[in-house]
Structure 1
Amino acid sequence: MESNKIEQKKDLLDEILKLREDLKEKNDMINDLGSSISFIHLFIVPLIVATIVTFITMKLSLFTSNQSAGCFIITFIICLAFSTFLNKNRLNKRKKELVEQRLALQKQLVAKGKELRELEKTIAN
């Protein structure tokens, strides 16, 4: 009977250690979330879109060359703002998901800690 409780305690400790590692991993993911924005998504995509729009307007002869340059700059700024907005929303959504997962792990850790404390009380008696 006593060895069974000791085995249960070992299993609980192993589960707690695994949950702590998972929790640390989630915290690291949350902390590193801002660095996951790639240069291509943030800068190159708006640059390509602005270039395509400018070439289309030049081919259709809608603007003069000076106006086409202005069109390029304005299109690039609008695309850059839109891209930044999308990335910010995507990061906020991902961060919210990770925080919820971290909270669930913390609740599991607390439950396992209570289980361990109760088991230690029964072993002591």
Structure 2
Amino acid sequence: MKRNSTLHIPRWLAKFILNETKTQPNNQQIFLAILEPMSPQEWCRIWIPIIHPDVEAPYPGERSPPGYMKASIMTLCKLTGYSECTVEGWFYGKTYHHTLGILLRCFHILFQFQRNIKISDNTL
């Protein structure tokens, strides 16, 4: 998959980032790293085994184990609001809007944050 070197973010968000980081330009890099789009495949490789512990994760270069695609499609449908047919197309090369990649990155960050809070709560 060819990566585009340009990061596409909504204009209002770019203005917000520039405004919020005027006094600390190094924070721009942090914001932009957070907004690096994430493909549906990449998101699913990380989160499907965690969300669905009974579903085995695929190994690189191998076919997806039974149930993995179904779990991936159903989970992404619930998160994004897109239909099963649309989500399934993403796994077979159909293009998707660049904001979907940002949305998946945001879900990734939120889920990581949620897991860290749960771990912290258990150690208290």
User: TM-score scaled to structure 2, two decimals?
Assistant: 0.29
Please identify the structure whose Cα radius of gyration is greater: 1
User: TM-score scaled to structure 1, two decimals?
Assistant: 0.28
User: Higher RCO, 1 or 2 (CA under 8 Å, sep at least 6)?
Assistant: 1
